[in-house]
Amino acid sequence: MTHHLQIVIGSTRPGRVGPAVAHWFARTAREHGGFDIELVDLADLDLPLLDEPNHPRLQEYRNAHTKMWSDTVQRADAFVFVHPEYNFGVNAALKNALDYLVHEWRDKTVGLVSYGGVSGGLRAAQMLKQSFSALGLFAVPAAVTVPFVAEHLNVLGEFEPTPIMQDSAQLMLDELVRLTGALAPLRA
């Protein structure tokens, strides 16, 4: 059975580099062949700051945008978050999108493609893992880390990975296939 992987573009600002990195990763994931792939852009979703009156574990959603986000996340078995680091931490749009839901994340897997300056987004990646543990979302050990992301964009604005990034992506996808399959009975 092929599982469904959502590649989530975690940044939303005009001029962001997130889509360039995410499109490379989506191509790599399609060539890998271990998952059905869906690209999800938080900028298209345009979620306001969490505006549901009830705790999301109750799933008593009032707003159409929440119901749509819930349906989107529900159909995935695994995620890859392509995300920047803002001010040594996770960017607000991605944290907000995580906080909207609880059960929809549970017993699923996640891999991280982080990018930034010298840190390659690693501080944001560590912060995300703290929230994953609250949500029952399981991060695989392998990750893609992109330091100085602007230096990896060509004149067309396309992302050009190093061989290490390409190898890390393959390893992360292999680990996601393994763990997503192992967790399938819990999601059933």
> Where along the sequence are the contacts to ligand FMN (CB under 6 A)?
11, 13, 16-18, 84-88, 116-117, 119, 149
Q: Which is nearer to ligand FMN, 41 or 107 (CB)?
A: 41
Burial of 141 per CB tally in 10 Å (0-12, 13-18, 19+): exposed
Nearest-approach distance from CB 48 to ligand FMN, in angstroms: 19
> How many angstroms from the chain centroid is the CA of residue 132?
11
Nearest-approach distance from CB 141 to ligand FMN, in angstroms: 22
Nearest-approach distance from CB 144 to ligand FMN, in angstroms: 14
Phi and psi based region of residue 85 (left: phi greater than 0; alpha: psi -120 to 50; beta: remaining): beta
Indicate the residue whose CB is closest to ligand FMN: 116
Phi and psi based region of residue 101 (left: phi greater than 0; alpha: psi -120 to 50; beta: remaining): beta
Nearest-approach distance from CB 116 to ligand FMN, in angstroms: 3
Q: Which is nearer to ligand FMN, 13 or 27 (CB)?
A: 13
Cβ neighbours of 99 (radius 10 Å): 16
Q: Which is nearer to ligand FMN, 93 or 177 (CB)?
A: 93
Q: Which is nearer to ligand FMN, 9 or 179 (CB)?
A: 9
Cβ neighbours of 105 (radius 10 Å): 22
Phi and psi based region of residue 107 (left: phi greater than 0; alpha: psi -120 to 50; beta: remaining): left
Would the CA dihedral through 73, 95, 47, 34 be positive or negative?
A: negative
Nearest-approach distance from CB 146 to ligand FMN, in angstroms: 9
Q: Which is nearer to ligand FMN, 111 or 116 (CB)?
A: 116
